[in-house]
Amino acid sequence: MSDKSISLNKYISSTGKCSRREADQWIEWGLVMINGKQAIKGNRVFENDTVLLNGKVLKNKSKPIYIAFHKPPGITCTTDQRDKDNIIDFINHKKRIFPIGRLDKASSGLILLTNDGDIVNHILREENNHQKEYIVKVDIPISDHFIQKMSSGIKILNTKTKKATVKKLSKNTFSIILTQGLNRQIRRMCEQLNYKVLTLKRIRIMHIELGKIDVGKWRDLTKEEVKDLKS
């Protein structure tokens, strides 16, 4: 037997079933076995090993899928199909896919989905400083102080947000470019300055733009977009 091996969570994600993070959860829940034995986090998979998920042999991944979806408000970025508003049932893709990152239920705009578990960590890894751009409407007129504070950083969730590029677009609307993804970050930042977000729409992730994708619709990424995504 070859001595080459890969980590179990990477092996599972490479089949296109999920991200590595989800794979770790499945391992912890006791859903994974290697060669008839219960798997644990940290296990490695060798060439001739047999890996079972829920009693079924994991098969090699089919052709990679990368799509850009215009999420409507009210859809939840989860693969948990017990949630009646889950993104997977809404898109109803013929292949198993999962979202890269998240966009909170009340927000709309661009989110990427894939069956390539290996690319998820690359895109979400904070130190890569990948940009995400949003258009936000708030309940009261935007002041210069608001723009300055949002740009320089605000304390939320026991940390200070990174510097951001913020521009006033109209009386109550601004754009913001972030390089981090704290939970409900923009909404929390606005709340700290006594502003309430009325609408929040993501229009860009890295080099991929929402463009003219209609609400509730999706498109496949181009070969060039995928190439840049992986580089």
Q: What are phi and psi of 36, to 5 degrees?
A: 85, 0
H-helix segments, 64-135: 87-91, 117-124
Whole-angstrom Cα distance, residue 86 to residue 96? 14
Residues 137/199, Cβ–Cβ less than 8 Å? yes
Pick the catalytic residue: 104, 118, 220, 228?
104
H-helix segments, the chain: 8-14, 20-28, 87-91, 117-124, 144-152, 185-192, 223-230
Neighbours of 1 (CB within 10 A): 8
Whole-angstrom Cα distance, residue 65 to residue 153? 36
Q: Taking Cα atoms as reference points, which of 67, 71, 66 lies closest to residue 216?
A: 71
For 4-68, give the DSSP string.
-EEEHHHHHHHTTS--HHHHHHHHHTT-EEETTEE--TT-EEETT--EEETTEEPPPP-S--EEE
Q: What are phi and psi of 81, to 5 degrees?
A: -80, 0
Residues 19/51, Cβ–Cβ less than 8 Å? no
The answer to whether residue 144 is catalytic is no
Q: Which positions are annotated as active-site residues?
A: 104
